C-alpha cells in the first residue's frame, strides 16, 4: 500500500496469481524465496531486509544459497553456521558481529 501498488500490480510483475500472493501474505502458504522477495522489494522500491527476516522467521530457517557466494563469503557464513551449531560462538562475538553489520563504517 505504501508503494501505491495493489496485489494485482505485484502479481502481474511477478507472473503469479493474486490468490497465491494473498495466500502468502496471510500465512496460508510458505513465504516467498529470498530471490522472489528481492524481486518484490525492487519492484516496490523498498528495503528487502525486513521482508527477508520475516520470511526466515516464518520458515523457521535462513535461506542462503552458498553456491552463489564469493569464496570468502561462503567461508565466513559456513564458519558462523558451524560455530553456532556446535555452540562455539559466544554472545560477545555475536554482539560484535551485529555491530559490524549495523554500521556503514568499513573501519570497524
The backbone region for 81, taken as left when phi is positive above 0, alpha when psi lies in -120 to 50, beta otherwise, is alpha
Cα separation, 64 vs 5, whole angstroms = 28
Listed in sequence order, the DSSP H helices in the chain are: 7-14, 18-26, 34-44, 49-59, 71-85, 91-102
Can you state the angle between helices 7-14 and 34-44, rounded to 10 degrees?
120
* pTM as predicted: 0.71
Look at residue 107 in the predicted model and tell me its pLDDT.
Answer: 55
Q: What is the pLDDT of residue 45?
A: 93
pLDDT at 86: 94
Note the pLDDT of residue 33.
92
Could you report the average pLDDT of every consecutive run of 10 residues in the chain (108 residues)? Answer: 88 94 92 93 93 93 90 93 92 94 69
Closest residue by Cα to residue 74 from 63, 64, 66, 82: 66
Amino acid at each position: 500500500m505504501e508503494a501505491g501498488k495493489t496485489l494485482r500490480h505485484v502479481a502481474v510483475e511477478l507472473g503469479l496469481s493474486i490468490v497465491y500472493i494473498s495466500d502468502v501474505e496471510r500465512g496460508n502458504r510458505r513465504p516467498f524465496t529470498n530471490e522472489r522477495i528481492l524481486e518484490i522489494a525492487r519492484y516496490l522500491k523498498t528495503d528487502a531486509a525486513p521482508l527477508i527476516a520475516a520470511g526466515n522467521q516464518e520458515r523457521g530457517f535462513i535461506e542462503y544459497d552458498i553456491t552463489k557466494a564469493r569464496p570468502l563469503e561462503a567461508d565466513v557464513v559456513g564458519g558462523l553456521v558451524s560455530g553456532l551449531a556446535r555452540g562455539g560462538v559466544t554472545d560477545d562475538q555475536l554482539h560484535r558481529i551485529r555491530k559490524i553489520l549495523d554500521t556503514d563504517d568499513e573501519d570497524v
